[in-house]
């Protein structure tokens, strides 16, 4: 069943035809009006109340259709999640950095929703995966302690914001005390006087302007300048010295479990998450921050950037699958190579949503789907794809429940 999906126009999105979200929508609907001055940030595919998909042929919201036909979810999904689709599938097009944030685990989400329902609007957790469609930049997880210490020495402005007492504690702590010491450093950064933070950023930016290219690269100069131009004086700009800076190439992925600090910076990606809006923010944002909650909830695990890439495994010659360690969702990347006429999708025991990123195919009874088409596939459905333009790879992503 083909779906009509919702586009979210947040100010951090890419504008007009530069946005993958916009080009997918335009390609799948000749009547779609594309505004070159408008940011097209997210395409939502699912049942979330803030942007529910609609079953095209029936004109009813997907959530309502599922509630009235819950067998389409599959037995295992009904037993674990009831008559609801437990994931939200998205395409993101990012021009401006999203906030430094983390998502609570299930138990913590329930507590936050109970104590602050106006801020944390549902009791669900929000693990998520991002799979790059274009080169995709992000900050993800704390750097190894050795790298953070190197930046203390190389960036006196960063050192000033952290504070000498906290740096001494981190430098002299044994392994058992490192998490607490890093937590104290992070808390001090986020609670520093904003005017002092802004002054140190100005000093650092002025110093960068006098360095050669090698010196600028050593201090992540171009990234700092970009973030500061987007969020002038924001303490989150110093996050580039605390968190891993990662660039994913198309097809590479990040999985973000509970309490993992991160910020998406630029690029386009497929994203899948548990069906929730719970976000705890602390920097690179004009939105309300909840610094104490974020400081207390983070795990403070320090790993190299290479450890943050989430690896898929191959199911057959056309399909590789990203299976995170949670039941809410998994995502398959399906690439039908040039010259291949047909492909049978691997049947899933749960309901799924499929989006075509590139290519054109015929599915089912003469249903022609093009770039940007989105379909809902009931559990255990057998689907054959007949490729209609075989001179380029046909690329699709399929999200389903990880049971």
Residues with active-site annotation: 281
Q: CA 12: distance to chain centroid?
A: 13
Which two tokens mark 158? 């960063």
Contact 290, 280 (CB under 8 A): yes
76: helix, coil or strand?
A: helix
- β pairing state of 87-94 and 42-45: antiparallel
Contact 365, 298 (CB under 8 A): no
402: helix, coil or strand?
A: coil
Contact 219, 156 (CB under 8 A): no
Choose among 275, 350, 348: nearest CA to 75: 350
d(Cα 106, Cα 295) in Å, to the nearest integer? Answer: 18
Residue 310 is classified by DSSP as P
Specify burial of residue 6 (Cβ count, 10 A radius: 0-12, 13-18, 19+): middle
């Amino acid at each position: 069943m083909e779906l009509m999906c919702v586009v979210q126009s947040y100010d951090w999105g890419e504008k007009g035809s530069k946005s993958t979200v916009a080009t997918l929508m335009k390609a799948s609907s000749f009547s779609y009006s594309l505004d070159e001055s408008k940011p097209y940030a997210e395409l939502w595919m699912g049942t979330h109340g803030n942007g529910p998909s609609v079953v095209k042929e029936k004109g009813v919201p997907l959530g309502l259709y599922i509630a009235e036909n819950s067998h389409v979810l599959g037995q295992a999904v009904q037993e674990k999640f009831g008559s609801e689709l437990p994931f939200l599938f998205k395409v993101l097009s990012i021009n401006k950095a999203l906030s430094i944030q983390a998502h609570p685990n299930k138990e913590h989400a329930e507590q936050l929703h109970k104590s602050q329902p106006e801020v944390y609007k549902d009791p669900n957790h929000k693990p998520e995966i991002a799979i790059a469609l274009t080169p995709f930049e992000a900050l993800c997880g704390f750097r190894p302690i050795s790298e953070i210490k190197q930046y203390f020495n190389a960036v006196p402005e960063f050192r000033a914001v952290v504070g000498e007492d906290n740096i001494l504690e981190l430098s002299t702590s044994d392994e058992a005390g490192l998490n607490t010491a890093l937590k104290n450093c992070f808390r001090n950064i986020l609670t520093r006087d904003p005017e002092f933070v802004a002054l140190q950023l100005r000093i650092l930016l002025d110093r960068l302007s006098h360095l050669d290219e090698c010196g600028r690269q050593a201090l992540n100069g171009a990234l700092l300048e970009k973030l500061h131009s987007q969020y002038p004086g924001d303490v989150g700009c110093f996050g580039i010295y605390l968190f891993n800076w990662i660039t994913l190439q198309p097809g590479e992925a990040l999985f973000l479990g509970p309490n993992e600090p991160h910020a998406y910076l630029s690029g386009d990606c497929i994203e899948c998450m548990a069906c929730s809006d719970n976000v705890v923010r602390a920097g690179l944002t004009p939105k309300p921050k909840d610094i104490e909650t974020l400081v207390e909830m983070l795990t403070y695990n320090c790993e190299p950037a290479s450890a943050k890439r989430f690896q898929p495994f191959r199911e057959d010659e056309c399909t590789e699958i990203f299976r995170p360690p949670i039941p809410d969702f998994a995502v398959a990347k399906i690439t039908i190579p040039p010259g291949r006429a047909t492909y049978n999708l691997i049947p899933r025991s749960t309901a799924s949503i499929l989006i075509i990123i590139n290519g054109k195919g015929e599915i089912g009874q003469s249903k022609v789907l093009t770039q940007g088409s989105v379909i809902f596939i009931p559990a255990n459905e057998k689907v054959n794809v007949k490729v209609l333009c075989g001179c380029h790879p046909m690329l699709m992503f399929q999200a389903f429940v990880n049971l």
